[in-house]
């Protein structure tokens, strides 16, 4: 539970502090205000007149607001449907993950990319995981090239590692973003191979979204992402705790949640961090943003974590920022920040739609089915 100081700090950052980005302003609309009040009640409640005064200041503010600004970002970076474009121009995503025990996570990561609008989605997994992932959907391109220690003799490790890297390298220049970690597992040989893949992705200037066991790998080898501005870390509560302990050599401080997150991103060299929670906190070490979860949808939001959207939206945002013929006046300009904000926004909306229909029985697959509708609500095809 966060203290009243955090509640005050969050409100200040959401609206009172004029130095914060437009993404964090709040609209005086009933829906947004209800979410604001719900957030405070869930965290601690109104503990003093100062909190109530800040809430009144937030209510007195007009547009632009957090929700509208975030949706504007999502709308701006979502490419239009253009018949003159060829297959692949709307995004080519690769997932590095999937082993004997875990086949669902890489599938969900790959299929959500397609459901949002990416053209191609690849999964690089172990040979044991490949037939299972292939059976889930014929839409996904599956590469059964990764190996685990149990199937590799010590004398063969170097040659197999080189073979794995060579196979991924053949595809690397085609990818707009890598997602590293879903269902990866913690096998030492497998993690060594993935480390080399990440190094080559950096050399090719390919954005990397790291989650799950990918974060376990990065926490123990920070050099894989340190100083790489196209890296995005998406930790949950426990993963974030381990990162803070390793990098800052301290415990998580919820009384200064945003300040600590900024410091963490700076210490890792300017990577973007999306700290998942009741409200998603996002920073690249220079600017910060907050995306509040819907009071209802937030109950099921964790079934489908934002990493699965971040890859697609980051690739789209990168195209937008680097394009000379599109409006790039949106703020912030960092494509990884834009990707995280858009991903959190769409996830919140899809989870809310799914929960309104499925209630307690909501599953990841249910939320996936509402992705298209949710995106069209914000950025209509017409």
Q: Which residues are annotated as a binding site for ATP?
A: 276-280
The rounded Cα 151 to chain-centroid distance in angstroms is 33
Detail the residues annotated as belonging to a binding site for (6S)-NADPHX.
183, 236-242
Element (H, E) at 4: helix 4-11
Cα–Cα distance measured from residue 157 to residue 189, given in angstroms and rounded to the nearest whole number: 8
295-324 in b/e form (b: 16+ CB < 10 A) is: bebbbbbbbbbbbbbbbbbbbbbbbbbeee
Residue 59 in contact with residue 28, Cβ under 8 Å?
Answer: yes
Tokens 């959500």, located at residue: 112
Separation between Cα atoms, residue 332 and residue 45, nearest integer Å: 31
Q: Give CA separation, 184 vs 194, 204, 253, in Å.
A: 9, 22, 29
Phi, psi dihedrals of residue 342, rounded to the nearest 5°: -65, -40
| Backbone phi and psi for residue 81, each to the nearest 5 degrees, phi listed first | -80, 110
Task: Collect all residues with Cβ–Cβ distance below 8 Å to 368 and sequence separation of at least 6.
Answer: 108, 111, 112, 115, 304, 350
Task: Give the other-Cβ count within 10 Å of 278's Cβ.
Answer: 14
Going by C-beta distance under 8 Å and a sequence separation of 6 or more, which residues neighbour residue 266?
Answer: 285
Task: Detail the residues annotated as belonging to a binding site.
Answer: 183, 236-242, 276-280
């Amino acid at each position: 539970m966060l203290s009243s100081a955090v509640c005050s700090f969050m409100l200040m950052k959401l609206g009172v502090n004029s130095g914060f980005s437009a993404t964090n302003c709040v609209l005086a609309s009933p829906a947004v205000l209800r979410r604001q009040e719900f957030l405070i009640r869930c965290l601690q409640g109104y503990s003093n007149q100062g909190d109530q005064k800040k809430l009144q200041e937030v209510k007195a503010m007009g547009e632009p607001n957090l929700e509208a600004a975030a949706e504007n970002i999502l709308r701006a970076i979502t490419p239009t449907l253009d018949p003159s474009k060829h297959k692949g121009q709307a995004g080519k995503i690769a997932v590095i993950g999937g082993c004997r025990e875990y086949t669902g996570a890489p599938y969900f990561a790959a299929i959500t990319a397609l459901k949002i609008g990416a053209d191609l989605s690849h999964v690089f997994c172990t040979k044991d995981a490949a037939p299972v992932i292939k059976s889930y959907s014929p839409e996904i391109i599956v590469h059964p090239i990764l190996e685990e220690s149990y199937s590799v003799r010590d004398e063969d490790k170097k040659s197999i590692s080189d073979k794995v890297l060579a196979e991924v390298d053949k595809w690397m220049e085609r990818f707009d973003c890598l997602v590293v970690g879903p269902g990866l597992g913690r096998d030492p040989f497998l993690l060594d191979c993935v480390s080399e893949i990440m190094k080559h992705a950096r050399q090719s200037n390919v954005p990397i979204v790291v989650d799950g066991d990918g974060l376990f790998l990065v926490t123990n080898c920070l050099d894989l992402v340190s100083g790489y501005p196209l890296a995005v870390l998406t930790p949950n509560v426990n993963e974030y705790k381990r990162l803070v302990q390793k990098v800052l050599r301290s415990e998580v401080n919820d009384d200064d949640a945003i300040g600590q997150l900024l410091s963490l991103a700076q210490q890792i060299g300017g990577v973007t961090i999306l700290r998942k929670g009741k409200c998603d906190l996002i920073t690249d070490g220079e600017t910060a943003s907050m995306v509040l979860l819907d009071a209802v949808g937030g109950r099921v939001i964790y079934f489908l974590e934002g990493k699965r959207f971040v890859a697609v939206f980051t690739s789209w945002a990168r195209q937008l920022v680097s394009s000379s013929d599109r409006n790039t006046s949106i703020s912030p300009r960092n494509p990884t920040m834009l990707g995280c904000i858009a991903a959190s926004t769409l996830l919140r909306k899809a989870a809310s739609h799914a929960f309104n229909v499925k209630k307690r029985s909501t599953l990841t697959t249910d939320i996936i089915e509402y992705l298209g509708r949710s995106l069209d609500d914000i950025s209509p095809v017409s």
